[in-house]
Amino acid sequence: MLNEKTILVTGSAGFIGSNLCKRLLNDVQGIRIIGVDNMNDYYDVSLKEFRLKQILDLRKDFTFIKGDIADRDFIEKLFEENHFDIVVNLAAQAGVRYSIDHPDTYIESNIIGFYNILEVLRRHPVEHLLYASSSSVYGGNTKVPFSTEDKVDHPVSLYAATKKTNELMAYTYCHLYGIRSTGLRFFTVYGPAGRPDMAYFSFTNKLLNNETIKIFNYGKCERDFTYVDDIVEGIVRIMEKGPKEDYNLYNIGNHHPENLMDFVYTLGECLKENGLLEENFDMDEHMKLVEMQPGDVPVTYADTLSLREDYGFQPSTSLKEGLSEFAKWYKEYYKK
């Protein structure tokens, strides 16, 4: 159980991190959370500040510290001044496409930052390290659904390569130093207050500005869209029960890939139902089919059997439900 435990959540002002903090603070008696985030400007910082304010407004035992996990001195001081029971490392430079033109950022945050976490845990042991991996590690794999038993030797973006590297590093530190860890391969996370660079968010911005959206691979893509509450539920279940083995990997995905064109039409429906688009708005007139982008893959599809068997959970929020919640939030946040 998590009662009375002290948890470190890195990336606490991020999309998943902030939702995890709110869930734990609301549901777990006596929990203490230290949240860390560097508040970088990869996307609008005011959105990160909004998420952070939501946590602080709960008036629970949450302390926010602005800092970068790539700063070794910062990490050392953090662990010297606090005793953590569990570490959830969600801090990372996200985005497949951004990694093509900004590789240094990914090496610093995703590789050096994670290395700093692992190194400090050698001297300041915890019960369990959970960390964010990604469905992108499956890269060019053609067998679906993607299983954690599959080989993942063909990443098609540097972002994917850094996440695969995290898994290898965690395995090595588990083998050499006994650091118990669980890597979580997230599949296309979406929901209210999400990342503006994600398709559902950027499409909404463009459609509301009467602009044309680009549909990659001529619409012949499928994504295993996973609602953020389902991602958080999976993390919490694993935190509560603890690691099954010393080294673990799980997919957290909806196990139900959606065709990209169906996704766009569903988004349009939700925007219309919430008064963000006129009922007669023609989605087809605002779409342009284009070729696949570098770093992208045609299909993501999570095999979640091991998550279901070990922790009794499988994401189930429908795309319509999730996008409706996003549309409601968007209308309120931007006062549309």
Q: Which residues are catalytically annotated? A: 159
Query: Do the Cβ atoms of 303 and 224 come closer than 8 Å?
Result: no
Query: Do the Cβ atoms of 324 and 274 come closer than 8 Å?
Result: yes
- CA contacts within 13 A on the Cβ side of 112: 14
d(CA 17, CA 5): 17
Sequence-ordered strand ranges (E) for the chain: 6-10, 32-37, 62-66, 86-89, 128-134, 181-186, 189-190, 213-215, 222-223, 226-227, 247-252, 258-259, 287-289
Contacts 24+ apart (CB under 8 A), 259-262: 259/219, 259/221, 259/222, 260/215, 260/216, 260/217, 260/219, 260/220, 260/221, 260/222, 260/223, 261/215, 261/219
Backbone φ/ψ region at 22: left (φ over 0), alpha (ψ -120 to 50), beta? alpha
Task: Read off φ and ψ for residue 41, nearest 5 degrees.
Answer: -100, 30
d(CA 243, CA 182): 7
d(CA 212, CA 197): 16
Query: Do the Cβ atoms of 130 and 86 come closer than 8 Å?
Result: yes
Distance of CA 47 to the CA centre of its chain: 16
Q: Which residues pair with 34 in a beta bridge?
A: 8, 63
